[in-house]
Amino acid sequence: MKKGYSFLSKCGNFTIFFLVLVFCMPLISGYNKINARTSASDVEENKKVVYLTFDDGPANIVTNKILDTLKEKDIKATFFVIGDKISGREEILKRIYGEGHTIGLHTYTHKFKKIYRSEESFIEEMDLTRNEVKRVLNIEATAIRFPAGSKPHLNDSLLEKLHAQGYKIYDWNASLSDGLNYNTPPDKLYREATKVVGKSTNVVLLLHCDQPNTNTCKALPRIIDYYKEQGYEFKPIKEDTPEFYFRFKKNNVRKTVTTFIKNTMDK
């Protein structure tokens, strides 16, 4: 009797293991794809949405010129700011927010060796920048962007820690080379802005608004006109905007299944 019961127990364990393995297999071998989700209303109405996002500000002249263009075109955008650039430029930050744009965080120093030294260092950079924004605007900014993008830095551990702090990550699926080469001609910047990776109707477009980005200012009106002509609606990133980050390998499910196998075999 005991032997039969023991045999059935073993079978029960392996049956459970098999079901868990089948359920988790897509997650074990898969990746966390770009979160390019839209709201239910956008899906139903098949809306095309573009998010203009500007990194590396605030800068005295260029950021203000970009704000002038956005105001003239009646467009709202998102600015991912660098924390140590805010002091002395508080009025620019106030103008960004006051004109209906949203604020994101782009680390405090933008120094890669320091930012990516550890997960704790990365989070500290975001915390410092959030504190600077709060000092000036008295708001809690939660949208963040990794310098040069979240890949290969984002993983399960860091994602969990960032979410615990209330942060949401935003990469992009269209970008300008204005952050790599300030001298890229406006015509080329325009062409880059129209090339979207993937088939999503949502476009998160990366641009820059640092002091040397004068050619971005020149290309921006034409970029806006292009997306208007294509029927896109312009939106800033807000608290309810779904995260949008590059895919990365998922390790936590693999570890869970491995632990389950070991525990089952040991019984």
Q: Catalytic amino acids?
A: 55, 208
Torsion of CA 194, 197, 198, 203, to 10 degrees: -60
With 0-12 CB in 10 A as exposed, 13-18 as middle and 19+ as buried, what is 266?
exposed
Find residue 55's DSSP bridge partners: 80, 208
Alpha-carbon distance of 92 to 70, in angstroms, equals: 14
With 0-12 CB in 10 A as exposed, 13-18 as middle and 19+ as buried, what is 123?
middle
Question: What count of other Cβ atoms lies within 10 Å of the Cβ of residue 187?
Answer: 12
